Amino acid sequence: MTLAAANQRIATLAAARALHQAFAWLHLHEPQLRRWQLEFLAVPAPPFAESARAAWFCERLRELGLHNAHIDGEGNALAELTAERQMSADTPILLLSAHLDTVFPAGTDCTPREQGAVIHGPGACDNGAGLTALLAVAAALTHAKLTPPCTVLFAANVGEEGPGDLRGMRHLLTAAPYAGRIRACIALEGSGTATVVDRALGSRRLRVTVTGPGGHSWADAGRPNPILALAEGLLACARLRLPANPRTTLSCGTIAGGTSVNSIPASASAELDLRSTSTLELDRAELAVLNTLTNTIENLGAPVPDSRTREDGAIHLHVTRIGNRAAGALAPDSPLFTSLRAVDRHLNLATEPHIGSTDANLPLSLGVPALALGAGGSGAGIHTLQESYDPTGRDLALRRILLLLLDTCSLIPTG
């Protein structure tokens, strides 16, 4: 698929009267988009508890006149834009998605605040921007009576943030009735007008737990201490030499353990985050971490039997994988990326490719073409309680999304 051919398609598409009507809706209805954003931001969506926000989105998708609005077995809010001739169980699909969940735990005050044009509040940008764009594109298409040449599945999906481990996308692409029919994916993620994530940053998350008999800090002095053993293991891991090219990193994100200052703890745990642009290097790094922890913690010394507790006096290591995102990349000459370059040329944007960990990881790992696009505006304080989002000028990014969606649909065989 040549760039010249893509440029011609985009020029023809952009000249269509119906598309002008869709663009006009996006430009004139920023107040409506803002109202939607403020309303759903006030509905908390912590990891594994996105149901209230999903219900809100399902109702909005239904109100916009989309077909088959429902919440699936994993908790994703879904609806289809489908022509009558496309309504069968095997028609191909383009998936347009934005994740519902935030990083903030249950009990966080999510009430948004306005300060001029800026919206303040947890999740205002990530993924308040993407979710608003999802509704905006659906509304503009239905207002202009634009039915793409293939079915578009709109998904406000669960489980994108760390603990969710992409469970919403994993369900859609591997277990849902739509699995096997999705031919391309566009994920709407945060702010930015010209940004695109075309390279998936892979990650492995490990929970490391060290256990022992525990005891009193004085009476049982000398028993092995899981916190100190874990600390030794983590320091040994920090000394691992990971490759700079492809870049591979290791971070300890949480650490916990102990009962009181005058107790020898019975357990200690930490959570590790490994990242790389290479799945092979992730495999190697994970193995190196496991070997290092084993050699450091389990070989700290021979166990000392303790007849009082019937414990062997030893410490024990347990490692559990709690997250796995495959690395991957969209080929620069793929039809999806070529289409994006043509769209950006038409809109006079300089395409800004990035590496990132997004919902696009999952389809890319399965060989399904995918990108994550910014939804316009600008954000700050992402993943903090000081998060904010300024939607000024976001309609340009929304036009970009709409053009890419329609052109990509035209490239998907419907027979």
Mean pLDDT (whole number) for 71-98: 88
Chain centroid to CA 265: 36
Q: DSSP characters for 115-157?
A: ETTEEESTTTTTTHHHHHHHHHHHHHHHHTT---SSEEEEEEE
Q: Which amino acid is at 287?
A: L
Q: Look at residue 133 and tell me whether its pLDDT is greater than 70.
A: yes
Residues 332 and 288 in one domain: no
pLDDT for the residue numbered 1: 66
- Indicate the residue among 325, 345, 361 that finishes a domain: 325
pLDDT value of position 30: 97
- Residue 121: pLDDT band with limits 50, 70, 90: very high
Tell me what pLDDT residue 87 has. Answer: 62
Averaged over 362-377, what is the pLDDT? 97
Q: Which domain, by its residues, includes 331?
A: 3-201+327-411
Count how many domains the chain has.
Answer: 2
Which pLDDT score, from 0 to 100, does residue 85 have?
Answer: 63
The mean pLDDT of the chain is: 94
pLDDT at 21 over 50: yes
Does residue 329 contact residue 200 with C-beta atoms inside 8 Å? yes
Indicate the DSSP class of residue 414. Answer: -
pLDDT of residue 304: 45
- Indicate the range of 241-245, 268-272, 409-413 predicted with least confidence: 409-413
Q: Each residue of 308-352: pLDDT tens digit? A: 444 556 899 999 999 999 999 999 999 999 999 999 999 999 999
Same domain, 315 and 341: no
**Assigned token pair, 138:** 């659906």
CATH number of the domain bearing residue 32: 3.40.630.10
Same domain? For 181 and 310 the reply is no
Residue 377's alpha-carbon distances to 10, 21, 56, 187, in angstroms, are 23, 22, 23, 16
Q: Is the pLDDT of residue 373 over 90?
A: yes
> Are 17 and 63 in the same domain?
yes
Separation of alpha carbons 367 and 30, rounded Å: 36
Residues 143, 253: one domain?
no
Final residue belonging to a domain, choices 325, 352, 373: 325
**% of the chain with per-residue pLDDT over 90:** 90
| Rg for the chain, CA atoms, rounded | 25
User: Are 348 and 289 part of one and the same domain?
Assistant: no
Same-domain status, 320 and 355: no
Q: What's this model's pTM, rounded to 2 decimal places?
A: 0.92
Query: Are 52 and 115 members of one domain?
Result: yes
- For 175-230, the pLDDT digits (tens) are 999 999 999 999 999 999 999 999 999 999 999 999 999 999 999 999 999 999 99
Do 263 and 341 fall within a single domain? no
pLDDT at site 410:
94
79-88 mean pLDDT:
77
Residues 278 and 308 both lie in one domain: yes
Domain boundary among 310, 325, 340: 325
- pLDDT tier for residue 413 given thresholds of 50, 70 and 90: confident
CATH number, domain containing residue 307: 3.30.70.360
Question: Is the pLDDT reported for residue 11 higher than 90?
Answer: yes
For residues 184 and 213, membership in a common domain is answered with no
Once rounded to an integer, what is the mean pLDDT over residues 24-30?
A: 97
Claim to verify: residue 188 and residue 216 sit in the same structural domain: no
**Distance of alpha carbon 212 from alpha carbon 226, whole angstroms:** 6
